[in-house]
Structures are given as structure tokens and as C-alpha cells.
Chains A and B, each alone.
Chain A
Amino acid sequence: MIRTAADRVAELLEVFTQRSMARLRAEFTDEVVALHDADPLWILEDGANRVLRILRTQPIQGKHLIYAAGPDGPWCLARVTHGAPGNLVVHADEYGDYEDAMRAVFHERKSEYLETNAVRELPLRKGSGS
């Protein structure tokens, strides 16, 4: 199997991602959650913004969007799902305020990244080059 440039780029990204996720786990504190819950659009603390930036740069496939069902809401959480109608799967729960939907996105991500330990401890691949 000949390794390609894409393989090498992916490996480099993986190294960085592990470091990034380790930092996320360390800095994703209850204080960050409280800040976001208080006002998801006005967070001025560096540490909290670093957590948010990591979450916000995850790959688009499967990522959250918020779907506005009408001119004044309600707003629903949705996931980018390429291949589904509209490339989007919308969750049933509705929110009367889009900032509440943003809070719900944040909590779902917290659950995914921390509570279910979904962040893999990937060993570095060694010796797989040609």
C-alpha cells in the first residue's frame, strides 16, 4: 500500500487533534459550561473561547446546525447528514429561543466529547510508510 500525501496530512492532523482534545478535556470545566449557559453569544474569557473554538472547528459531516422552523422559531437542533433530504437531519425537540438552541448544542457536544468519552485515545501510527 503506497502512502499518499493525503495519508501523511491526515497523520499530522491526527497528532494535532490528540493534543487539542487533551486540552479540551482539561479546560472543558463547569465554569465554561456556566459561562456559555449564561450567554452563548457573549463570552469574553480566553479559556472558554479556546474550548469553543475547538468545538466549532470540528468536521462538518455530522456537525450541528440550528434549523429555524418559522420566522420567529421554533428552533431545532439538526445534524449535517450528507445524503439525507436537504443534507440535514432535524431533531424533534424545539426551542423558543435560538440562544437556547445554541445552549443545547453546547450540552450535546459536552456529552459527546466528555461524558461518553467519545474522544479516542489514538496511538500514533508508526512504521506504516512505504
Chain B
Amino acid sequence: MSSPTSANQKVYGYTDRLSARPGEQLTLHVSCEEAESYTATVVQLHHGFDGSAGPGFQETVVPTAVDGTYPGKHYECRPGSFVEVNDPAGMLTDPAGFEVRAAIFPTLPRDDRSGTLGAYRISHSSVAFKGEHQTVLGTWDATTSTGWALTLDDGRPTFVWNEAGESRTMQLDTALTAHHWYELVLRVPAGDGDITLTCTPLRHAMDLVAPASARLSPETAGAKTAGRWMASGMPFRIGALAARSDSRLVAASAFNGKIGGVRVHRRLGNGLELVAQWHFGRSERPDRLLLSAVVDESPNRLDGRCVNGPVRGVTGPTFQGRVEDFREAPDEYDAIHFHDDDIADADWPVALTFDVPLDLASGVYAFRLTAEGRDHHVPFFVGPGQRARDVAVLFPTGTYLAYANDRIAFEADSMEMLLGHTPIVHSEDLDLQDHPEFGRSCYEIHNDGSGVIFSTGRRPLITMQPRYRASFMSEGPWGLPADLCIAHWLEEIDCEFDAITDETLDLEGYDLISRYRVIITGSHPEYMTRGELDALAEFTAAGGRLMYLGGNGFYATTSFDPEDRHIVEVRRADGGTRPHQSPFAEQRHTTSGESAGLWRNKGKAPERLVGVGMSAQGFDRCTYYQRLDDSFDARAAFIFEGIGAEELLGDFGIIGGGAAGSEIDFYNPRLGTPPDTLVLATSGPLSDTYLLAAEELYEQLPGLGGTEQASVRSDVVYASLDGGGGFFSVGSIAWTGSLSHNGYQNNIALLTANVLRRFRDSEPLK
């Protein structure tokens, strides 16, 4: 037995954003692992899946000014979220005379997480957690042992400071209990005297019993000081300390849990003078969204900013349990939930900039970085240029990010149960295991047991490698590699297309797509914003034609941070298929104000847009389609030109061996499918690992699997709409994996091309 190829990867990178137009600039950020140099080249990606059952991995080099060899340098990627306070006058540099108050809600005060968490029963974290030191606030520099900080050390409230060059600590005896609110009060004399630290359990509207049952009581500790403070030179942070790493100050000793109600007073005579009073529920934006800015309500305006994406819009110590929207009761949301494994931006220095040439065709590209013989691709999309095309592919970058760096197969007891087979992992998965600092996907659980709701493009995205195969697929492509199957098919039929992405459609809306005749989705456009859904609905209503070549589409509420658009937010509501669930009153997106959950539960079921909606998921084997009566309707004749009446459709493919499967949608007219929608084909038999989607259930009933449940199926539908537009939907992630079968000579490729040809025709659909 041996450990295989992990640690082989020598270079990693990411871009500042996933999409740019000709004439715009991208920055590339690179870190090497013990490699003295690396080469960088821009390539156009044509096809990703590299198995012999398909066309193989295909890329072409695009000569640019980027081409060259660059010195390799390692940069640390350090997770851990915090608030950094802007304190140019050094008012928080030493604590002389301070009275510091902070309410804290530790979620992992010691390294004692147990149990199984989330839908997949995650029992282990492959992201190492060292929780013996967790920072509430302060300036402490662990390298020089200078400054001061309020911390939890092995779960016990602790004050650490430097006095006359010597490190000192003062600590309470009792470790805090997880998931209870406490108030910490630190009182420091202005000169010599007594320091006291008091910890008091707080009564909380949502937790009136637990403090008593957990035998919590106030506790105080004291220590003498001569008042000879030695400052650290580090910034004041809440939720983590600062540590130097090359030229940057990264996170250290990060906190797991909520912190709120943070106030600093300075003793002035017999009274107290307010130094700072941060209100984590307060926003100064007109839309009252809680983004990275943190407001200090004191006259000193020691404002801060969130780093690495801690969770805001969470209930604070004074929450009364009656509101669910942070904007309606800011005082009750005066808290931020920090995690030691949060990452929003690896913050590596710019390695090089790339000015996207004005004549570079829209498409899928990557920086190909090579060190010691192994490539790492950093994909990006070049958006529409000045030359108009009539077809655009909407690459589902929101979904790519939601799944980015997923490592569930190594952490969850029930992953294999979900899949119906033993997960199949690859060298990239092992690289990811060796680099937990690259952060989690929105399917995972933080070290403290809470669900991950943010993802970011500013970190190496291992799952977006063009050859990547997800562990849950039966060796088929998923995500970007699956969508490259569409890109390559379009090239095969000489159809030029523009590449657009979720974040650009969300930002620009209908204006971005109004000039196209056809929009083609990716294989899995699950995570969509309201702006995207509205733009696509306006598109089809105005005569546009939408080809939905995927499954599980238009499914879950998603938001892009309006100030940091590389960050995507996906909170989870308490209904429908979901990997975890956000707590009560914390299901509101702070980056958009949207309530979390499935669009179907918010009056925007995908059936209204594309005729079908989520039915089931399964990952063992895919199947074929059989034609139905509507496929012989004259209105659908163009779709089946060249296809026999009795032909099975797609009984082949590189995703599970068939065109119908993985995550599938069905015709469900009660949720708004347009009345004249034609149901052209339905899937063949599926196994019982395909279970009816949770949102279709109101109570659990036996017989939910594919062999017993009529709604577990994938349906292919077509509709023409008033105005000449329409949609064609396949309702299956596996569809794209069948396109290339037999050198593109097959009925799935033919049928899809028939639709595209007609959809590109200006003649209104009928």
C-alpha cells in the first residue's frame, strides 16, 4: 500500500474574476510549491474530458504577451475570518484604562466536535482544526509576544498582554460551553492597579433554559498590573489576530462562533469615555445590506472591514425571535459569525496582468501554468466582443463556485449512500486534501458544524480544472468539464458562440442577452440569481430561444456580492433538497436581501421558465429517452428530422452511459409549465438510488425510488411562446455527455443540432 500522487502539483493560481471582455484586464495570482519557476501560457479550452471514450482533452495555445517563464514563489493561503479596524491614531494600541465588552457565542470552544452533520452526515473535517487559541479581539503579536488580546484558550476566557517586555496571561477557570451567549468584560486600570476579566452567561430569548441546565454562572479573575504596556504594531482585529506572512498580515488564532456587542470605553476620571462601539447589524448603505464594511458608532469612527467572508446577518445577543430579516431589526443582528476555515480571497500578490486583446474571440480560456512537468489551469471566460454572434452559452459560474473545492467524499459517512457506489477520486482530490487552506464548497460544513454559505473565485479552484472528474460521477465530467462538451460540440457544427457567465448576466441583466437569438445553458445551472431569472424570462418573452441542456437548473437562490463580485452567497432554507440548513432568522442573504431557498418556493419555479423542474438525483447509472406522442406533433417535426420513430435516444454517453440521469427534471405543469408545452420524450428505467426530490414531499412515504415513483424521471420538452420565442429543455445533467458519442454521429447530437438550427432561424417558433 502507498500514498499516491499527492503533493505532485507544484503551481497554483487564480484570477481576480472569472470573466472579462476584450479590452479589459485580468490579474493572475500564482503560488509555487517548491518550484523555482513556472511557465505561463494562455490557452483556449475546447474539450476537457480526457478519457478515450470522448474526443480527449483539447486546448490550443493563444500567443500573448503572457507567454514566458516566471520565478516561482510560495505564498501562504491562510483561512480565518475577522474584522480589521482602521485605527490610524492608534487609539486601540494599548488597553490602559479600557473597559472592553464583547458578547460571544462560541461554537467550537475546544476541539471537541462530534456527531454527524448535514445531509451527508459529515463526521470528519479534513481541514485541520487547532482551536486551543481563539481570538475575540486585540492586537497581540504571537511572534514578538507584544500587544494585548482577549481570547479563548482551550475554551477558557483569557486576557494576554505584554508588560515591560514580559508576556502575561490571566485566565478564567471554566471553559465555555458551546452555543451559549456570554458577555466578557475586561477592565484595565489607567496606570498600575488591578485588571479584571468577568464572564457572565447571558439570558437569551431563544435559549432561556440552556444556561441554567448547563450550570453556567458568572466568573471573574483578576491580576495586578504596573501599567507598563508594550504595543505590538499589529492592527486591532476582532475574530482573529494578525500574523506576518511575507509582506502580508494573515489571520492567526481565528475564532469559531459569533461575536457581537463590542464596545470599548476608556476610564476618564470617575466616568467612562466611549472609544469604539461597533454595530455589526448596522449598514450605511441605502439598501441596508451587510457587506464588508463595519460601522463604529462612536465619534472616533474606528470603522472596520470584514476579511475572508465571515457570516453577517446572524442573530445577536439581544435577538427576540420575531423577525427574520436583518434589515428590520439591526440591533438584534449585532453579531458576526466567524470561522477559522473561512476564505474569501487568498490575497496572493499579482503575478502578472493580462490585457484581453480586442480581437480575442469570446470563449473559454485558461492560464496554463506549468511547473516541473505538471500543469495547472486557471480558467476564465472572455465575454462578448464587438462582433455580434447570434448564439451565447451561459456558463453557470455560480454553480461552479458553489461546488468549488468540494471534498465531501473524504468527510461524509453517507456520501456513498447518496451516490449508490463507492466514490471515485483522482489526483486532484488528493491535492485538495493536502491543501485544505484552499477552502470549502457550499456543500460542506465548517469546522464548527455550521454550513458553508460563501464561496469565492479568488483561490485555486481545483474542481474547475478542465480534466477534473467529480468523485460522485461514474467517471464522467461535471461542471466546467461537462460544459466544455457543449463548447466542443458547437465547434464541431461550426457554430460560433459568445461565452457569458452568471455574474455578468446578474450584473447586466437582459441588456447582455437581448441581441442573441439563442441562449444555451450549461449542464447544471443550479445556482441562479433573481436578476438572471428575470433576464432569461424577458428574453424568451421577447422572442428569444432558450436551450436548457442540463438538469437541476434555475433551482436555488444565489447572490453575488455587489462590491466583491468574486464572492457568491448561498444560504439554505428549511425546505427542499439541501446539504445543510441555515438557522432560523439567518436565512436572509446579506449580499442581496433575498430569502434563502429554492426558487420554486418563492414563486419562481423553473417550470415557468423552461417547462421542467427538479425531480430526482442519482449517480449510479444513466439511461436513455423514449419518444412520446408529442414528438410526432407537426410543431416538433424539426426536432426529430433524421431520427426514427422507434429509436431510443441517448442510450450511450460518457456520463453514466446514457443521456438521461445524474440530476434530472420532470414535466410538472402544476408549477407553471406553459400550457402548450410539448412533452417529447421521457427517460428509461432508473434505479432506486434516484429518489424523489425532497421538495416534492410533504410527508415521507415509502416507495420514493426510480423503480416505484412515477415522478422520478427526466422529460424533454419544447414550447413556443407568444412573440416567436420558446424553449427546449432536456432536464438532465447527463445530456451533454452523450453529444460526442461515435464522433458526434448519434441521435442526441443530431436532435440538439436540429433544435439549434431552427432556433437560430429568425422565423418565429410555432
Contact = CB atoms under 8 A, between A and B. Distances in A.
A36 B430 CA distance: 28
B1 A90 contact: yes
Interface in A7-55: 9, 40-44, 49, 52-53
Interface string B460-492: 000000010101001100000000000000000
B3 A57 contact: no
Contacts of B743: none
A57 B121 contact: yes
Interface string B416-446: 1100111111100111011000000000000
Contacts of A80: 410
B6 interface: yes
Contacts of B416: 56-57, 63
Given A56-B416, A59-B413, A61-B124, A41 B421 contact: yes
Interface in A49-108: 49, 52-53, 56-61, 63-69, 71-72, 75-76, 78, 80, 82, 84-92, 98, 101-102, 105
B645 interface: no
A64 B410 CA distance: 10
Given A65-B425, A85-B3, 4 more contacts: A57-B416, A86-B7, A89-B1, A89-B2
A124 interface: no
Contacts of A87: 126, 410, 430, 433
For chain B, which range describes its interface: under 10, 10 to 19, 20 to 34, or 35 or more residues? 35 or more
Given A42-B621, A49-B688, A57-B414, A68 B469 contact: yes
Given A56-B414, A88-B433, A68 B3 contact: no
B124 A88 contact: no
For chain A, which range describes its interface: under 10, 10 to 19, 20 to 34, or 35 or more residues? 35 or more
Contacts of A61: 123-124
Contacts of A63: 413, 416
Interface of A: 6, 9, 40-44, 49, 52-53, 56-61, 63-69, 71-72, 75-76, 78, 80, 82, 84-92, 98, 101-102, 105
Given A9-B115, A42-B620, A56-B416, A90 B3 contact: yes
Contacts of B431: 86
Contact of A60 (B115, B412, B424, B429): B412
B115 A68 contact: no
Interface string B685-696: 001100000000
Given A42-B621, A71-B51, A78 B413 contact: no
Q: Is the interface of B mostly helix, strand, loop or mixed?
A: loop
Given A42-B620, A60-B413, A85 B425 contact: no
B707 interface: yes
29 contacts: A6-B114, A41-B474, A42-B621, A42-B687, A44-B687, A56-B414, A56-B417, A57-B416, A59-B413, A60-B124, A61-B123, A63-B416, A64-B422, A65-B422, A65-B425, A68-B424, A69-B4, A75-B424, A82-B124, A84-B3, A85-B434, A87-B430, A88-B3, A88-B410, A92-B1, A92-B2, A98-B424, A98-B475, A102-B421
Given A42-B687, A68-B426, A86 B475 contact: no
Interface of B: 1-7, 50-52, 112, 114-115, 121, 123-124, 126, 409-417, 420-426, 429-431, 433-434, 467, 469, 471, 474-475, 620-621, 687-688, 707
A49 B5 CA distance: 34
A67 B425 contact: yes
B211 to A, nearest CB: 16
Contact of B471 (A65, A75, A76): A65
Nearest to A105: B422
B51 A6 contact: no
A90 B124 CA distance: 19
Contacts of B410: 60, 65, 80, 82, 87-88
B417 A53 contact: yes
A68 B426 CA distance: 5
Contacts of B429: 86
**Residue from the set A41, A66, A86 with the largest chain B CB neighbour count within 10 Å:** A86
A58 to B, nearest CB: 7
A82 B126 contact: yes
Contact of B433 (A57, A66, A86): A86
Nearest to B52: A72
A58 B6 CA distance: 25
Contacts of B425: 65-68, 78, 88
